[in-house]
């Protein structure tokens, strides 16, 4: 295997990622289940899905854990506002998340643990932190004392003094230091509670990831990922509490991805400029879900994962066109060739060189834009070979194999381009009507009645349906 280089936030540079055992543990911070997922969540899920797939493509066994935060202030607040149990709120949005992921073609992680199923483990960790003096108890709350850890700030490269100077840190007079964070919170009346050595309460946010990562992946995780907004304080806190507890490195390599922006501003709840995944699918409901899911994936993977990616309908349209190119090649291959034809000599070597380029791109910190470019270049090359009459059908499998890693090219070309799609412009027009018009036009063309033929074509165009006359005389629908 060629070496894989990953940008490790801990080192702030690309480093070779070693996997001598052939096994890799991957932990990604999941959602807090208090609302539907937006495009930013989709980017995160798709990036790590592709990363996981690529590690497997390289022959590694990946244990991928992505948690659900199913107890949190925001969940409690929503439940209170809607006067229903917090558990119901959490379950609803976990289900919504799962539905969105299915639409996006994201494979389920190996394990999808819920925070509330791991309370005993969290308590066990907190107890030791209290016992060793790294954490202290105040009125049923337990806080981690940041000043006990000399390495605090290694991930985010922030110095405690500088953080305080920002004056944006919440001041809780009871804490010994404003940066100290809650491991356990005493419950207020009406809130969900679990028994603990410090009285009834619930866990703080950061401790759950440490507990679940250790539970399923051991004390040191190979790769831990999330959005770059999690670097501080979430991941920084995970590191201190975990390493103080185990005395071992918590994570070998931290991977953080950039944001989805709209008009170059971070998509976020507080700015109100976010788009729910479900709403985007709704907006493009004239595409079959599997088709639009891939368009979204292609778009999200067309920018390197560490950079910001700006969302716009123009960018989405551009992605659709780009993916169409690839599907058109697949369709052209299917229609004109088959595996039974012997491949011309030398083609193997050409494909091997493209394969090497593709893998080099992915090995270079998962450079998916570069990998996509390799695919487009091969596409053009194969098209010229096809025009020359060469038998090149067997490259199809290569495209599909690459596509499987990225979650693309998994739909049949027929479905992709022509299968009974309905235009949003003319929901009143049935598939049968369209077919009848086309048959009528076929007849007109047969008697060389171009005026009628063109009139029908125009009528179809007005309803958003593009017709394509093929060399063999048949007509097919395209949108």
Partner RNA sequence: GGCGGCGUACCCAAGCGGUUAAGGGAGCAGUCUGCAAAACUGCGAUUCAUCGGUUCAAGUCCGAUCGCCGCCUCCA
Ranges within 64-93 binding RNA (CB under 7 A): 74
Nearer to RNA (CB atom), residue 166 or residue 247: 166
Site for RNA in 185-214 (CB under 7 A): 205
Given 17, 54, 64, 259, the residue binding RNA (CB under 7 A): 259
127/412 with CB nearer RNA: 412
Q: Measure the CA–CA gap between 28 and 227, rounded to whole angstroms.
A: 9
Three-state DSSP at 66 gives strand
Of 103 and 445, nearer to RNA (C-beta) is 445
DSSP-assigned states of every residue in 190-244: TS--B--TTSSEEE-HHHHHHHHHHHHH-SSEEEEEEEGGGIIIIIHHHHHHHHH
Compose the 20-49 pattern: x for residues touching RNA by CB under 7 A, - for all others.
Answer: ---------x-xx-----xxxx-xx-----
Instruction: Mark residues 327-356: x for contact with RNA by CB under 7 A, - for none.
Output: -xx--x------------------------
Question: Nearest approach, Cβ of 347 to RNA (angstroms)?
Answer: 16
Comparing CB distances to RNA, the nearer of 128 and 302 is 302
- Closer to RNA by CB, 124 or 315: give it: 315
Q: Helix 395-406 to helix 289-301 angle, to the nearest 10 degrees?
A: 80
**Judged by CB under 7 A, does residue 324 bind RNA?**
yes
Provide, rounded to whole angstroms, the least separation between the CB of residue 197 and RNA: 24
Closest CA to 379 of 305, 334, 449, 323: 323
Q: Which tokens is 178 given?
A: 């404003």
Task: Select from 257, 395, 405, 406 the one that contacts RNA (CB under 7 A).
Answer: 257
For residue 211, give the nearest of 29, 394, 341, 392 by alpha carbon: 29
- With a CB cutoff of 8 Å and minimum separation 6, the contacts of 346 are none
Which of 380, 400, 439, 455 touches RNA (CB under 7 A)? 380
Identified binder of RNA from the candidate list 1, 102, 165, 356, rule CB under 7 A: 165
Q: Which of 5, 232, 276, 418 binds RNA (CB under 7 A)?
A: 232
Nearer to RNA, 436 or 466 (CB): 466
Q: State in angstroms the smallest separation of the CB of 416 from RNA.
A: 12
Strands 251-257 and 221-227: parallel
Q: How far apart are CA 15 and CA 7, in angstroms?
A: 6
Please choose, out of 57-65, 119-127, 279-287, 460-468, the segment that lies near RNA by the rule CB under 7 A: 460-468
Is residue 403 involved in binding RNA (CB under 7 A)? Answer: no
Write the CA distances from 240 to 88, 123, 158, 220, 252, integer angstroms: 33, 16, 14, 13, 14
Residue 157, both tokens: 């490269």
- 183 interacts with RNA by CB under 7 A: no
Q: Which is nearer to RNA, 216 or 416 (CB)?
A: 416
Calpha distance 254→222 (Å, rounded): 8
Minimum CB distance to RNA, residue 247 (Å) = 26
**Cα first-last separation, the chain:** 42
Nearest to 244 by CA among 165, 307, 183, 178: 183
128/418 with CB nearer RNA: 418
Structure tokens at 461: 């165009």
Q: Is 410 in the site for RNA (CB under 7 A)?
A: no
Within 422-441, which residues bind RNA (CB under 7 A)?
none
Total residues at interface with RNA (CB under 7 A): 89
**CB of 55 or CB of 438, closer to RNA:** 438
Contacts for 188 with CB less than 8 Å, ≥ 6 apart: none
Counting contacts by CB under 7 A, is residue 377 touching RNA? yes
């Amino acid at each position: 295997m060629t070496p894989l280089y990953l940008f490790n936030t801990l080192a702030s540079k690309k480093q070779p990622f070693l996997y001598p055992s052939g096994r890799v543990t991957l932990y990604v911070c999941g959602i807090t289940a208090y609302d539907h997922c937006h495009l930013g969540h989709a980017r995160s899920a798709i990036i790590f899905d592709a990363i996981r797939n690529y590690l497997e493509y390289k022959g590694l066994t990946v244990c991928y854990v992505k948690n659900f935060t199913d107890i949190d202030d925001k969940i409690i607040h929503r439940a209170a506002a809607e006067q229903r149990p917090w558990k119901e709120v959490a379950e609803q949005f976990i289900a919504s998340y799962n539905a969105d992921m299915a639409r996006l073609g994201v494979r389920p992680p190996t394990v999808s643990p819920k925070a509330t199923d791991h309370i005993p483990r969290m308590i066990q960790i907190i107890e030791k932190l209290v016992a060793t003096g790294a954490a202290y108890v105040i009125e049923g709350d337990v806080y981690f004392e940041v000043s006990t850890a000399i390495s605090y700030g290694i991930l985010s490269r922030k110095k405690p003094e500088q953080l305080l100077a920002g004056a944006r840190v919440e001041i809780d007079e009871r804490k010994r230091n404003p940066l100290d964070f809650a491991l356990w919170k005493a419950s207020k009346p009406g809130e969900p509670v679990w028994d603990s050595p410090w009285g009834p309460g619930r866990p703080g946010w950061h401790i759950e990831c440490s507990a679940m990562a250790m539970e399923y992946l051991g004390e040191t995780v190979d790769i831990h990922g999330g959005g770059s907004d999690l670097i501080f304080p979430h991941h920084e806190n995970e590191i201190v509490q975990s390493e103080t507890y185990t005395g071992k490195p918590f994570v070998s390599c931290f991977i953080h991805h950039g944001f989805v922006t709209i008009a170059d501003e971070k998509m976020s709840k507080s700015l109100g400029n976010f788009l729910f995944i479900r709403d985007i699918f709704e907006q493009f409901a004239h595409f079959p879900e599997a088709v639009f899911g891939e368009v979204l994936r292609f778009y999200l993977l067309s920018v390197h994962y560490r950079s910001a990616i700006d969302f716009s309908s123009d960018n989405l349209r551009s992605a659709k066109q780009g993916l169409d190119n690839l599907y058109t090649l697949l369709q052209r291959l299917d229609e004109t060739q088959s595996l039974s034809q012997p491949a011309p000599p030398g083609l193997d070597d050409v494909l091997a060189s493209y394969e090497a380029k593709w893998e080099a791109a992915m090995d270079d910190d998962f450079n998916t834009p570069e990998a996509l470019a390799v695919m487009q270049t091969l596409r053009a090359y194969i098209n010229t070979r096809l025009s020359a009459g060469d038998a090149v059908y067997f490259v199809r499998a290569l495209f599909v194999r690459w596509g499987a890693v990225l979650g693309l090219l998994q739909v049949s070309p027929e479905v992709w381009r022509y299968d009974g799609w309905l235009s949003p412009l003319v929901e009143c027009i049935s598939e049968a009507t369209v077919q009848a018009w086309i048959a009528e036009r076929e007849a007109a063309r047969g008697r060389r009645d171009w005026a009628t033929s063109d009139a029908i074509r125009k009528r179809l165009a007005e309803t958003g349906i593009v017709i394509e006359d093929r060399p063999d005389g048949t007509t097919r629908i395209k949108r």
